[in-house]
C-alpha cells in the first residue's frame, strides 16, 4: 500500500508557529502569575540575609493555598505604598502581641499567656540587640507593644537599624499603620537565584512558639 504524504501550505506553518507561541506565553504568564516569579532586592533592609541587587525567586502558590508563617521572608505591598514591593520577615502573626524592649523582640503568641524572646540567629553582629523604636536608627530602646489584628501581620527587616518596616509604616495622613494585610503579601521568598555564588534556599527559623 502506498502512503501519500500530506503537505501543508506556508500559512498552515505560520499559524502553527503562532499557536505555539501563544501557548508558551500563556504558560509562562500563568507560572509567573500564580506559581513563581523572579524579584530583585533593592536596598539593604534585609542585610545580611539578602543583599542589594540579588535576584530571588518568589513562591506565589504558597499563599494561594495557605497563609504566611512566622519567620518567613515575604514580598508585599506596604500600607503606604501602592506600587512598590518590599521584602521583609514575618515577626507577628494575627492575634500575636509583639513587644520591642531593650533592643530585643518578644512575642506573646495568640492564646498564650507567656511572652517569648525571639532567638533571631539571622541577625548579624551590627543588629543583634539593636531593634529600636521608630526611627530604626534612633537608638531608642523604650518599650513598644503591637497587638496584631486578625488577617494582618507585623513585618521587619533583618537590618534592624536600616529598615523601613512595621515600626515605621504610616498612612498618607501620617497615622501609624504598622500592620500588613494578608492580601497585600504576594509570595514567600523561596531561594536566592543570583549571583551564582550566593544560590541557596531560605528556610524560616524555629522560634519554639
Sign of CA dihedral 132, 135, 138, 143: negative
Using the structure block, give the residue that is written with the C-alpha cell 551590627. Answer: 126
Give the integer Cα–Cα distance in Å for 61 and 37. Answer: 10
- 148 secondary structure, DSSP code: P
Is 33:79 a contact under the CB 8 Å cutoff?
no
DSSP for 11-65, please give it.
HHHHHHHHHHHHHHHHHHHHIIIIIEEEEE--SSTTTTTS-TT-EEEEE-HHHHH
Q: Active-site positions?
A: 45, 88
φ, ψ of residue 61 in degrees (nearest 5) = -60, -30
* 3-state class (DSSP) for residue 184: helix
Amino acid at each position: 500500500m502506498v502512503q501519500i504524504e500530506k503537505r501543508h501550505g506556508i500559512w498552515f506553518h505560520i499559524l502553527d508557529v503562532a499557536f505555539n507561541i501563544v501557548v508558551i506565553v500563556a504558560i509562562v504568564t500563568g507560572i509567573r502569575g500564580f506559581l513563581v516569579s523572579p524579584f530583585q532586592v533593592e536596598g539593604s533592609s534585609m542585610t545580611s540575609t539578602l543583599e542589594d541587587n540579588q535576584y530571588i525567586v518568589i513562591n506565589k502558590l504558597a499563599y494561594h493555598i495557605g497563609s504566611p508563617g512566622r519567620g518567613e521572608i515575604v514580598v508585599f505591598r506596604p500600607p503606604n505604598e501602592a506600587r512598590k514591593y518590599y521584602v521583609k520577615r514575618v515577626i507577628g502573626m494575627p492575634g500575636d502581641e509583639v513587644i520591642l524592649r531593650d533592643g530585643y523582640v518578644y512575642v506573646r503568641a495568640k492564646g498564650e499567656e507567656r511572652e517569648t524572646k525571639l532567638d533571631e540567629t539571622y541577625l548579624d553582629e551590627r543588629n543583634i540587640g539593636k531593634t529600636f523604636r521608630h526611627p530604626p536608627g534612633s537608638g531608642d530602646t523604650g518599650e513598644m507593644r503591637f497587638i496584631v489584628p486578625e488577617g494582618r501581620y507585623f513585618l521587619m527587616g533583618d537590618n534592624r537599624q536600616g529598615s523601613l518596616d512595621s515600626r515605621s509604616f504610616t498612612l498618607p495622613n501620617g497615622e501609624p499603620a504598622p500592620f500588613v494585610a494578608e492580601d497585600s503579601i504576594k509570595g514567600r521568598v523561596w531561594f536566592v537565584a543570583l549571583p551564582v555564588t550566593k544560590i541557596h534556599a531560605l528556610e524560616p527559623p524555629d522560634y519554639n512558639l
